[in-house]
Amino acid sequence: MPPTPTELREPVLAWFAVHARDLPWRAADRSPWGVLVSEVMLQQTPVVRVEPAWRSWMARWPTPADLAAASTADVLRAWDRLGYPRRALRLQECARAVVERHDGVVPSSEPELLALPGVGSYTAAAVLAFAYGRRSVVLDTNVRRVLARTVDGVALPAPSQTVDEVRRASRYVPDDDATAARWAAASMELGALVCTARSPRCEVCPVRDVCAWWGAGRPADEHAGRRKVQTFTGTDRQVRGRVMALLRDALGPVPAAAVDAVWPDARQLARCVDGLVADGLVTRDPAASVDDPPTYRLPS
């Protein structure tokens, strides 16, 4: 039998009261904008890399209006090596939308949040919970894994989120706003620190005794064959990252020859550079004359 909402929530909330990490976007003085920035940065990037970047970012652009007025080149340089730099562009677009539509204040309703550039269902729910203390179904990979194990008795959730999964998660969210917001943070923290994907620390888990997966003998992942194994070496992502690093560090426009030198496969490099230009992450300046090569730079 899966645990009841009370059987699952109470031990997790008690554990969180003792073991919660002291993260700056959880501080009492954090702003809704700071929460939104943290959620965008934390997508596919670990906390240890995000925390210093978040502190620097918020010191430089503490409000949406500050980021909206910044140059795109400065934004991309500040994003540095957080990865997936298109997130930086979407965050700046989001800041401009907040300024234009909401007088510079991050909205507190789900429809308005979802209408912002780059804000999906998870980010909207997270902002409602963590910035405004509102009840919402916050379902990231950590929470999905905790519920898959404790409630469904499986090693890992299915590769794609389902409607039934969201409904199941909603049944475990407390009715009152304050406890619901704390449950969102606590279940996420449990997944990040204890109920991890590869090496779960079941021996210290506060809900081991009611966990369906533990009770079933920790069966193997039934979806293992459907999961993609992400690699990095030799991928277009690695090539794009090298080009972006070159342009971030440059004091001015970079000649084509310098860009050509970052990767040995000319066809792959050309494809990646074209993609960066199409994504708005790189500007290709035409040659001044037939004898001069084009140059590349970050968008101004």
So which residues are the catalytic ones? 39
CA-nearest of 255, 262, 235 to 84 is: 235
User: Do residues 272 and 236 lie in contact, with contact meaning Cβ atoms separated by under 8 Å?
Assistant: yes
User: Do residues 294 and 254 lie in contact, with contact meaning Cβ atoms separated by under 8 Å?
Assistant: no
d(CA 115, CA 131): 17
Q: Give the dihedral of Cα atoms 125, 128, 131, 135; nearest 10 deg.
A: -110
DSSP bridge pairs for 130:
none
- Sign of CA pseudo-dihedral 148, 153, 156, 158: negative
Contacts of 111 (CB under 8 A, 6+ apart): none
H helices of the chain, in order, are: 5-19, 32-41, 47-60, 64-68, 72-79, 86-102, 110-114, 121-130, 141-147, 163-172, 177-193, 212-215, 236-249, 256-260, 266-278
- Sign of CA pseudo-dihedral 289, 290, 292, 296: positive
Residue 171, judged by CB atoms within 10 A of its CB (0-12, 13-18, 19+), counts as exposed
